[in-house]
């Protein structure tokens, strides 16, 4: 993967994290220690595991971190859906968040597959 690709992916991940922090500020107070906390942690885990994976020298270790990042993305996407279903989010925010999450997922999956192919 080119550096431009990786930088774009990190930029999108950062945008998604900031989106989640922004929208969860308006959630009901009783959600602070449940969906808000869980969604923020899952979303931060996406970019933090991706960055940590790039800091590792062994490809199998990198792959493990990238897969953890992808798993956190799936968790975060469910919380996005749940938040919209509970009407904590408006449809515009939901659409924006889903678009970001889908693009991140496609790019991260491409990187995971490329790394797996290089290990064979």
Query: Do 46 and 76 form a contact (C-beta atoms < 8 A)?
Result: yes
Give the pLDDT score at 53: 96
Express each pLDDT in 67-89 by its tens digit: 999 999 999 999 999 999 999 99
Q: What is the mean pLDDT of the chain?
A: 96
Has residue 113 got a pLDDT over 70?
A: yes
DSSP 84-118: HHTTSS-HHHHHHHHHHHHHHHHHHHHHHHHHHHH
- CATH class of the region 3-119: mainly alpha
Q: How confident is the model at residue 120 (pLDDT cuts 50, 70, 90)?
A: confident
How far is 86 from 82, CA to CA, in rounded Å? 6
**pTM (predicted TM-score):** 0.94
Query: Do 98 and 10 form a contact (C-beta atoms < 8 A)?
Result: no
Give the pLDDT score at 1: 67
Q: Calculate what percentage of the chain has a pLDDT beyond 70.
A: 98
Express each pLDDT in 86-101 by its tens digit: 999 999 999 999 999 9
* Number of Cβ atoms within 10 Å of the Cβ of 68: 17
């Amino acid at each position: 993967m080119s550096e431009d690709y990786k930088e774009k992916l990190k930029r999108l991940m950062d945008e998604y994290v900031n989106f989640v922090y922004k929208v969860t500020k308006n959630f009901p107070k009783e959600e602070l220690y449940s969906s808000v906390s869980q969604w923020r942690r899952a979303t931060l885990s996406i970019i933090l595991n991706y960055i940590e994976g790039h800091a590792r020298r062994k490809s199998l270790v990198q792959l493990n971190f990238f897969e953890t990042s992808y798993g956190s993305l799936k968790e975060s996407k469910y919380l996005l859906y749940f938040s919209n279903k509970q009407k904590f989010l408006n449809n515009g925010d939901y659409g924006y968040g889903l678009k970001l999450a889908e693009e991140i997922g496609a790019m991260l999956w491409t990187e995971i597959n490329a790394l797996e192919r290089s290990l064979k």
